[in-house]
Chain A
């Protein structure tokens, strides 16, 4: 004979045991997702805090935002000499792109050429304060450039390695995100490569620094007006800066020339209020 209660208890243990592996898998995936989500949020808010004062100042339109940038850029410059790089940094930058930005919009070549021309007084203000500044910096910094290619390469490699690590490097990443942007800004100043400025625009947009995002989108567009993403970031930044009408206007202009589906989607989202 059997003890029915004992048997029922054993059966329950058996059931729990057989579901345990599934439960563990589900829970651990959830935990990983939540951790990732919160770290990314934390990263964003942290860089927002870092840019906080400068961004606010720029919004007021009094002092050039780029001042702060110049200082940091200089500081980094003195640490690692800046040289236009070809392969490795390019790769590293691509990795950053993939890792940190979920931009669905792939850059697409468009035949027609429309260049962004901000006409509002608001734009003028920003233009004066920020867009002109980086150029000045480039000029100022240019003579100081020394070629220490090897060193730079090593750094770039290290960067790439840390970024490729899937887990455990979250802390390093968090510390590096501001650094990364600065590094890329430096490289951009040397090379004037629009993919770099676009990356910077995306970075600032994701960090919540919409003024700087606007600036770099504009800069990118000036260099290469076919960069779809630059238009999109430009428009998105405008929305964030309470310039919804200007954003729609810009997008309309761009869609006319490019028939970009992504731009259309974005415009619809802005008009419907989905994108705020």
Chain B
């Protein structure tokens, strides 16, 4: 029996955000570089927004990774929702001050003003739509001091659009909206991702027509595509071990794509 090439392929599509797994997609790549340049300009704040699953966390993680060598940069992937905890974490990381008890905004500002940093630390906040309006307002005030530069990501819904407008409109110098992949971008994404993990055989199985069907089902959303392909390779693995006559290794079967879509809820039966 041939080794199961599908097991490795399956793990490629685990929903993990890791800078090493970042895939360059032409359009996003251009945006990325201009955004990265903006970080070095004297701007108060940068905003990254888009629907869930469009690659914001991935983008931010990659940015963090790339800035590490040249800048003082901090990444907070999960929001720190408690006000005091948020300021204490910033004090500890940026100012190297370990604070006992509660720390409020006024106290934190005092410490920041008394400390003459000869650089502007960059703070990356993922999932900023989860922060309270109060905290968002304080982040805005902190940005105004130009002593800390914030780069934040927001899910784009109507509500979050409002937050973005109200709190950041006047302060944001640069913002980028991430969008779902087009069918051709999705093909690049899938194949590059598989090839990075040395899954060349399964990468070759993705013909234009299969990718088109996947794109129809996921609308090019990276997270939905990951979920779908994870299940797809799970099913392939299963057939490979139990009923190899049902699969071929030339191209991805539409039937299995649709079965995966049914399982992940992209198709309702």
Contact = CB atoms under 8 A, between A and B. Distances in A.
A26 interface: no
A2 B259 CA distance: 10
Interface residues of B, number: 13
A15 B255 CA distance: 9
Contact of B234 (A2, A8, A10, A14): A2
B83 interface: no
A123 to B, nearest CB: 70
Contact of B258 (A1, A2, A4, A11): A11
B28 to A, nearest CB: 32
A15 B259 CA distance: 10
A5 to B, nearest CB: 11
Interface in A4-55: 4, 7-8, 10-11, 13-15, 17
Contact of A8 (B231, B242, B259, B267): B259
Contacts of B234: 1-2
Contacts of B258: 11, 14-15
A1 B231 CA distance: 9
Given A2-B231, A17-B269, A10 B238 contact: no
A14 B235 contact: no
Contact of A10 (B231, B235, B242, B269): B269
A106 B231 CA distance: 65
B235 A2 contact: yes
Contacts of B259: 7-8, 10-11
B238 A14 contact: no
Given A1-B234, A13-B269, A17-B269, 17 more contacts: A2-B231, A4-B235, A4-B242, A7-B235, A7-B259, A7-B262, A8-B259, A10-B259, A10-B269, A11-B255, A11-B258, A11-B259, A11-B262, A11-B269, A14-B262, A14-B267, A14-B269
B138 interface: no
A15 B258 CA distance: 9
Nearest to B256: A11
B171 interface: no
Contacts of B65: none
B156 interface: no
B223 interface: no
B263 interface: yes
A10 B258 CA distance: 10
Query: 5 smallest A-B Cβ distances: which pairs?
Result: A10-B269, A11-B259, A14-B269, A7-B259, A10-B262
B267 A7 contact: no
Contacts of B255: 11
Nearest to B238: A4
Contacts of A2: 231, 234-235, 263
A13 B255 CA distance: 12
Nearest to B267: A14
A8 B253 CA distance: 13
A13 B231 CA distance: 19
Nearest to A3: B263
A158 to B, nearest CB: 52
A12 to B, nearest CB: 9
Nearest to A2: B263
Contacts of B238: 4
23 contacts: A2-B231, A2-B234, A2-B235, A7-B235, A7-B259, A7-B262, A7-B263, A8-B259, A10-B259, A10-B262, A10-B269, A11-B255, A11-B258, A11-B259, A11-B262, A11-B269, A13-B269, A14-B258, A14-B262, A14-B267, A14-B269, A15-B258, A17-B269
A82 B41 CA distance: 99
